[in-house]
Amino acid sequence: MSLFNENFNSFFESILFFLVTNFCLLFMAWMWRRAKPFSLPQSLPLWFKIWLGIIWLIGIILPILTMLLWGLWWSHTVVLQAMIPYFIMLALQGLSEKVILKVFQSSVWAIIPCFYLPYRIWQLHSGLTLLVMKSEPILVQKVLLLEMIFWLVSYVVHLSQIPTFLNWNILEDE
């Protein structure tokens, strides 16, 4: 019964977060509906393209491998409990970004990670706590800790790039 309660609470928390966050985002998009249609800047710096590759490698591929190996191959169901909500919210973030960018063409797109990244770090912390409580493999715990640090760095990088995403004018060097 405890496993069911933990899964239900995690699911309920994630659904509540998704609904509240997307209500806020849609409200902001509606409030900014008269703004000029937004599109991504066409000339992102090379370092940013490399950073997106690192996001794929560390933020998606490494957790998938971790989940497949420990969660499915070696049957540590608690690893699945920790990782599945992470991937669901990652997918829902992508969906939110796509809808805001393509349907609403709103600059609200640039702040979506400002909602989702702190929650992702919270999810990883919750998963790590669960793994520690159940004495699950230390390597998986280290992967979740690495993910937390990585997404924190990603959050800072994202915040530093909001002016670029929004095409804010930058003063030229004199």
DSSP secondary structure of the chain: -HHHHHHHHHHHHHHHHHHHHHHHHHHHHHHTTTSPPP---S---HHHHHHHHHIIIIIIIHHHHHIIIIIIIS--HHHHHHHHHHHHHHHHHHHHHHIIIIIS--GGGGGHHHHHHHHHHHHHHHHHHHHHHTT--HHHHHHHHHHHHHHHHHHHHHHHHHHHHTT---PPP-
Range of the domain at 150: 46-165
Share of the chain above pLDDT 90, in %: 57
Judge whether 124 lies within some domain.
yes
Q: What pTM was estimated for this model as a whole? A: 0.88
Judge whether 174 lies within some domain.
no
Judge whether 143 lies within some domain.
yes
Judge whether 2 lies within some domain.
no
Looking at the structure of the chain, the number of domains it has is 1
Judge whether 52 lies within some domain.
yes
Judge whether 8 lies within some domain.
no
Judge whether 29 lies within some domain.
no
Share of the chain above pLDDT 70, in %: 92
Segment 73-89 mean pLDDT:
91
- Higher-confidence residue of 31 and 174: namely 31
Judge whether 65 lies within some domain.
yes
